[in-house]
Amino acid sequence: MAGAIVDKVSAFARRHRGLLGFTLRKLADANLILFPINEKKGRETLRLIRRVKREKRLLQAYHQAYNLIRAVEATSKIPGDLAEVGVYKGGSAKLICEVKAGRALHLFDTFEGLPAVGSTDAPIFREGKYSAPSVDEVKTYLQGYANLAFHVGLFPETAGPVQETMFSFVHLDVDLVKSTEDCLEFFYPRMNPGGIILSQDYAFSGVREAINTFFAGRPEPVMELCSTQCMIVKLGNLYECC
């Protein structure tokens, strides 16, 4: 009897996979799953994410935004600048700004949407997707925050000004395999020990493969989060190096 019910539920889930995915996304967006709001800090974080969502600037779901905020906060003791590659309308950048304290934040984007898509990229992406209104509009949106640098164009061609910079936190939200590889190549050697790389898009097989391959020969574990994100903490002795 129990087996028959399980079979029926599985068959239903298979038939309505799209509907199930849609419902789960809505539940996550409505904050009905995955993060603590039973204490003051959680509720404040929820209010912040809601505000940025209302401003229609943020692509990320609530729980992804929550992880981003907490990861930035977790690096507050680590020396180094912060960076985001994949700014779009500035929603996730605003979340970072709210908790970065005095640290410098470097914002990289073409501001003309995604670059060329490769054969291992997810089919939902196409060149030019997420073209932002204009970099000036994003600058206006973030104008209340100090210590921001905008780097407009294709990364890593735009990385020249930060060749000598060390980082405590890097947020990658670039969707594509080639962009992910280029970002890891550039930022990994520039992360201070204890610094965090948080990447979106780990649920896409191409991006997952790129990240796993990059770290296969390196000591850092890649920690998958329950939100299509993954997180890497740079190893090493902070007190010896900085």
Ligand X SMILES: C[S@@+](CC[C@H](N)C(=O)[O-])C[C@H]1O[C@@H](n2cnc3c(N)ncnc32)[C@H](O)[C@@H]1O
Contact footprint for ligand X (CB under 6 A): 58-60, 85-89, 91-92, 108-110, 113-115, 130, 132, 154-155, 173-176, 179
Q: Between 173 and 193, whose beta carbon lies closer to ligand X? A: 173
Distance CA 151, CA 158 (A): 6
Q: Which two tokens stand for residue 70?
A: 């907490």
Minimum distance of ligand X from residue 125's CB (angstroms): 9
Nearer to ligand X by C-beta: 135 or 191? Answer: 135
Q: How far apart are CA 178 and CA 192, in angstroms?
A: 24
CB of 4 to ligand X, least distance (A): 43
- With respect to ligand X, which residue has the nearer C-beta, 128 or 221? 128
Dist CA 136 CA 140 (whole Å): 6
CB neighbours of residue 19 within 10 Å: 11
Residue of closest CB approach to ligand X: 86
Tell the smallest beta-carbon distance from residue 23 to ligand X (Å). Answer: 22
- 82 closest CA partner among 207, 215, 197: 197
CB of 1 to ligand X, least distance (A): 46
Least separation, in Å, of the C-beta of 5 and ligand X? 40
How large is the angle between the packed helices 62-74 and 91-99, nearest 10 degrees? Answer: 40
CA distances from 220 to 100, 158, 214, 215 (A): 24, 27, 10, 7
Give least dist CB 156 to ligand X, A: 7
Nearer to ligand X, 193 or 198 (CB): 198
Rounded Cα distance between 233 and 137, Å, is 33
Closer residue to ligand X in complex, CB, 11/203: 203
Q: Which is nearer to ligand X, 81 or 175 (CB)?
A: 175
Whether 92 contacts 64, CB under 8 Å = no
d(CA 4, CA 27): 28
